[in-house]
């Protein structure tokens, strides 16, 4: 059974960089059909897709967040990471990592496995 687990600081100061890691267990992050995504949810608000990455290093970002977001993958550790620079209070949210499937060997799939989420608060 695939499991995902987010980790990282729960408190980040304004203007600093938010850094989170998602550890994948029960399967390989290097599967050619799997894509690994970050989704966030501000308190009391809805879900927002941040971006996804393939083990090959190909990245895809939400156009509205792209300028200050970097997603990377470490296949040796079976992990992928999110960095969001110059954070503000608006970046306070629960951050989820999740898997979805996609090309080249299968059609685009939904977010079928999720981590439990981690709350990141931006405050001085």
Partner 1 sequence: QSALTQPRSVSGSPGQSVTISCTGTSSDVGGYNFVSWYQQHPGKAPKLMIYDVSERPSGVPDRFSGSKSANTASLTISGLQTDDEADYYCCSYAGSYTWVFGGGTKLTVL
In the complex, what is the shortest distance from the CB of residue 58 to partner 1, in angstroms, rounded to a whole number?
Answer: 8
Of 23, 12, 14, 3, residue with least CA distance to 78: 23
Please state whether beta strands 111-114 and 59-61 pair in parallel, antiparallel, or not at all (unpaired). Answer: unpaired
Q: Whose structure tokens read 């059609």?
A: 107
In the complex, what is the shortest distance from the CB of residue 121 to partner 1, in angstroms, rounded to a whole number?
Answer: 16
In the complex, what is the shortest distance from the CB of residue 80 to partner 1, in angstroms, rounded to a whole number?
Answer: 15
Nearer residue to partner 1 within complex by CB, 29 or 115: 115
Nearer residue to partner 1 within complex by CB, 39 or 93: 39
- Interface residue list for partner 1 (CB under 8 A): 35, 37, 39, 45-49, 52, 60-64, 96, 100, 102, 107-112, 114-117
Of 27, 36, 86, residue with least CA distance to 57: 36
Alpha carbon distance 91, 83 (integer Å): 12
Nearer residue to partner 1 within complex by CB, 16 or 61: 61
């Amino acid at each position: 059974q695939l499991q995902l687990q987010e980790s990282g600081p729960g408190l980040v100061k304004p203007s600093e960089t938010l850094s989170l890691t998602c550890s994948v267990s029960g399967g390989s992050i290097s599967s050619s059909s799997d894509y690994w995504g970050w989704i966030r949810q501000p308190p009391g608000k809805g879900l927002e897709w941040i971006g996804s990455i393939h083990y090959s290093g190909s990245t895809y970002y939400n156009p509205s967040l792209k300028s200050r977001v970097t997603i990377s993958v470490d296949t040796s550790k079976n992990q992928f990471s999110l960095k969001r620079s110059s954070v503000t209070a608006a970046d306070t949210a629960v951050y989820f990592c999740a898997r979805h499937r996609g090309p080249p060997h299968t059609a685009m799939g939904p977010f079928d496995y999720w981590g439990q989420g981690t709350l990141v608060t931006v405050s001085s």
